[in-house]
Amino acid sequence: MNMTLAQSIGDVGKGGLGKLLRYFNLLHQIRKEVKRIKPSLVYITPNSAGVPFYKDFVIVQLVKSLGCRVMVHFHNKGVVTRQDKLVDNFLYKRFFRNTKIILLAKSLYRDIEKYVDERDVYFCSNGIPESLTHHRITDARRLNILFLSNMMRAKGVLTLLLACAKLKSRRLPFHCIFAGAWKDISEADFAIKVNELHLDEDVEAVGPQYGEDKEKYLNLADVFVLPSYNECLPLTIIESMQHGVACISTNVGAIPSVIDEGETGFVIAPGDSDALADKLQWLIEHPEACKAMGKCGYEKYRRNYTLEQFENNFSKILREETSCYTG
């Protein structure tokens, strides 16, 4: 059952009477279906903080009140940022009581450890299907850098631009492509910053890319860079590893458990453009090592992050949890 109240991308984050009515209708439908099916376990993918959490809190409590056990699968984090607030702390205690949890990685457990014993937590990484167009295209003349995410300050767009400016000042060969939808950084603001840093010939923004267009840019890249300030486990890192691309990202969320330092890429602190520039320079000066990192990343993807691997892990969790109550 779809718990999303937004009817379009533009509707995300907005309130209104329409959403409130859809929410009450959703609660009615959940109550009706649970009574009809009488499931032994209800699986929910909730939000972890803020108003979206409050919405999902009510849903979880409703399901529990109907006598069902609940398993929640977090694809986001943020509990630890709200747990010291009086109301949130009260709600989290009730939300996590008698609830089984699935997290994307062990490193994310600290986000909920105040409320949940680790024995009640399962770990299941994301998985993605095999790429249909995995054909590496390399350019030995320069390092091809790819940023693939929304054009937001929180994603580290400005950090990467500053790192590119440092590479240019060191007279190092590179080309950086930013692929993503314009958000709190507008196309005009981005162009002004690029011009200010004298990067007009070295950086280009191509807007959001999907399907075969996204595959094209992944196949052209030597290194994927996501200097984000807040992440859980970005699928774009897994997609880059799938395409044999070295990765540089930050030490937030589950990223350090995905990128093996010095083997599949590098991990830096958010906002550290100096460290990012230094890592990119090292890859420019060691092109064979860059290729080797991409190869190691692909091998790790094959071991841990295929869709088949995810489905096997997820099915095992559900079998284990339901078998406890079916005899």
| pLDDT tens digits along 224-237 | 999 999 999 999 99
pLDDT digit string, tens, across residues 150-173: 999 999 999 999 999 999 999 999
Q: Is the pLDDT of residue 253 over 90?
A: yes
Q: Is the pLDDT of residue 6 over 90?
A: no
For the chain, what is the mean pLDDT?
A: 94
The pLDDT of residue 134: 62
Show me where the domains of the chain are located: 9-126+308-323, 143-305
User: Any idea which fold 9-126+308-323 has?
Assistant: Rossmann fold (3.40.50)
The pLDDT of residue 10: 52
Residues 6+ apart with CB under 8 A from 280: 143, 145, 163, 167, 172, 174, 223, 225, 248
Q: Is the pLDDT of residue 274 over 70?
A: yes
Rounded Cα distance, 302 and 242, in Å: 8
Strand ranges, E, within 168-277? 174-179, 203-205, 223-226, 246-250, 265-268
pLDDT digit string, tens, across residues 74-99: 999 999 999 999 999 999 999 999 99
Q: Is the pLDDT of residue 8 over 70?
A: no
The pLDDT of residue 1: 78
The pLDDT of residue 9: 46
Q: What percent of the chain has pLDDT over 70?
A: 93
Q: Residues 125-144: what's their mean pLDDT?
A: 82
Residues 6+ apart with CB under 8 A from 233: 104, 105, 108, 125, 126, 253, 254, 255, 258
pLDDT digit string, tens, across residues 40-87: 899 999 999 999 999 999 999 999 999 999 999 999 999 999 999 999
Q: Is the pLDDT of residue 16 over 80?
A: no
CB 170 within 8 A of CB 281: yes
Q: Is the pLDDT of residue 309 over 50?
A: yes
Rounded Cα distance, 236 and 324, in Å: 36
Residue 107 or 134, more confident:
107
Say if residue 140 is exposed, middle or buried (CB neighbours under 10 Å; 0-12, 13-18, 19+): exposed
Q: Is the pLDDT of residue 301 over 90?
A: yes
Rounded Cα distance, 167 and 197, in Å: 11
Tokens describing residue 41: 């376990």
The pLDDT of residue 91: 98
The pLDDT of residue 325: 59
The pLDDT of residue 135: 64
User: Any idea which fold 143-305 has?
Assistant: Rossmann fold (3.40.50)
Do the domains at 9-126+308-323 and 143-305 have one common CATH topology?
yes
